[in-house]
Structure 1
Amino acid sequence: MTKELTLILVLATQISFAQYKPQPTPFDKFVNKPGIEWAAYGSDTINFTSIDLNNLLLKRIINNEIKASKPVESRTAETATITYSPLDSIDQAFYGDRIDILMDSTGTQYFLKRDVPEKDSSNFKGTEVTQILYIEKGKLKSYIPFITPTLPVYMMPSGRYIGERFYFTSCFNYTYNSKPRNKSKLIFLTQTKKMISVIKTQKTDQLKELYGQNVVETLWPHVLNNELDVFAIKDNRKLKPEESDISLAINEPVLIPVYDSVGSVISYVVSAKPIDMKSFTAVQLLQDWHYDRKRNKVYSNIKEMILFVKKDDHEAVPVLRFVFR
C-alpha cells in the first residue's frame, strides 16, 4: 500500500503544525536531545484491516481493558495533559446530545433522546496515525505517540457520505524510544510504503534540521561510514561505502582515457559525475506495523528507504536502497 505523505483532511480543518510557533509537547520534545539529528512529523491515515484494529480497540474500551480520550491532535494544547474519558463522553462529543423535539397528537412538544447509532464495523477502518520520524545514531526510526480511529460521517436525511471524523484517541506511548518487551507476542498489522518528498517537505511538519539538511543529507555521512547497507536498484548489488561506487549506481558511467608518456591511450577508467544531494527528490519508506496488545501501543519498524532521482524532465526513478541494520 503506497501512501503520499500528506496531512489528511477530515471534516474539520486539520491543525497546522508550525515549525517555530508551537511549544514542544510531551510527545515531541525529545527532538531537542543532542543525539537526534533530524526529525519531522510523518502522520498518515492507514487501514489496519488485517486484524480490524479499530473495532478491536473499541471492544477493549467497552470492556475497560484500555484507556482512551476524546480525539487529540498533534502539537495542540490537548497533548500537554491527556484526559482519559469513558465511552459515553466520547460518544457525546462525537454524536452530540441526540435529542429530538417531537409533538404528540394534542400538539404538546416533548423531547426524545436517541440511542447512539450502531456502528457499521465494515466501515470503521480508517486510522489517523500520529508518527514522528527521526534519525538517531545513523538510523531512521519511527515513533508512534498515539493513534486516532475515524468514523464515516453522513449527511442527514439523505445519508450521503461526506467524509471521516476523528472518533477517539488511544494507544498512547509517552516514551519515544520504548521497545516492545516481547516481540514474539506482537500482532502484525500491515506493511506500508510511504512516499516522502525531499524537496517539498512541509516546514510545518519539520521538527529538527541540523544545518538545514534534509533526511537524505543527514543520513549520507552514515552511509559513507558503512553504518547502513546500500544497494543499487538496477541490479540489487550491494555497494561499497564509497562515493565513487555509489555515484556509478546513480549516474551514467563515463570512460576516461589514460594516456602514456607519448600520448597514446593505454586504458580507460570508469568514472561518473559527483553525487549531487539536490538530485534526490523523494524517498519511499517500507514499514512494518505491529500492535502490542498487553501495553496497548503501536510500533513501526522502518526496514528500508528507497531514494528517487529526477533526471532531466523525466519522472523520478528509484536508484538506491538503504537497509537499516
Structure 2
Amino acid sequence: MKKIAIAVTLSASVLGLAACNSDDSSKVVAESGAGNVTKEEFYQELKDSHGASVLQQLVTEEVLSNKYDVSEEEVDKELQSVKDQLGDRFQQAIQQQGFKDEEAFRKMLRLSLLQEAAVAEDIEITEKELKAQYERKKTEVQAQHILVKDKKTAEEVKKKLDNGGDFAKLAKEYSTDKSNAEDGGKLGYFSTGKMVPAFEDAAYSMDVGKVSDPVKTQHGFHIIKVTDKREKEKDIGSFEENKKDIRRSILNQRMDPQKAREKINKLIEDANVDIKVEGLEDILKQPKTGKAQG
C-alpha cells in the first residue's frame, strides 16, 4: 500500500532514557572488564545517532494529532490490511524495513494516516469520481498499443491507421515496446492500477474497436486500440467496501510530494515548537530559499 512521506520509526523511548542533568545519568547500563557504559553515555550516543529523526517524528505526530483525528480502529484496520497482504512474511518484511517490532510499525502507520489526512484536506475528490473509479475496478480492458518516442512519429502512425493501415503490422514496424511489438502490440486484459494514469484514462474512456489519438506518458506516445471490455469474474465487493482504497489511490495520483512536505512543515512552524534538547534546538528550522528577482 502506498504511504505518504513516511520515515522509519524508532522507539520513542530513545529520548526518554536520560536528560543531560538527570540525577542518575552516571548509572551503569552495561558492564565489562574493559570498562562500563553509563546511562548518560548511552543517551548521548543515541541522541547523536538518531535523536534528530526520532524527535522530528514525535513532534510531527504531536502537531498533526492536535489537528486531525486518526482513531485506533483506523490504525488497526490498516495494520490488518498489511498483514493480510503479507501473510506469513509480515514479521520478516517489517524487520527488513527497519522496524524492531509490530508496535514500531504500528506507530509508522498512525503517522502515515495523519499525514494522509493533512494532504487530503486540500485535494477535492467527488463522490462521482469515486463511483466512476469503482466501475473501472469492476471492468477489465483488452487493448493493443503502438509506442513511439515522439509526437511527430505518433501522428504519422495515426494517419496511416486512419487511412486503413493494419494496427498489428504498424505495431511491428513502429512500436518501441519490444515486449509485444512482434505480437501486434497486444497487451492482454488489464484493470485499474496496471497502466500509468494517462494510458488507463484513455483506454477506459474508449469504445471497443476504437483507436485513440496519441496519448503522452512518461514512456513516450501511445496509439491505443481497445479490442474488448468485460466485467471481472472475481467479485470485488460493494462500492462502500472499496471507497476508502479508491480515495487513497486517487489521492496518491494527485498529490504533489513537495507541496505535501511544505504543508506539514508549515503546520509544525505554526505550532511554535520549542526544542529543549541540547544540540537539537534547530532541527525543525527550514532553510530559507531566495526568490528570483524579476
TM category, shorter? under 0.3
TM-score by length of 2: 0.22
TM-score by length of 1: 0.20
Greater fraction of residues in helix: 2
Greater fraction of residues in strand: 1
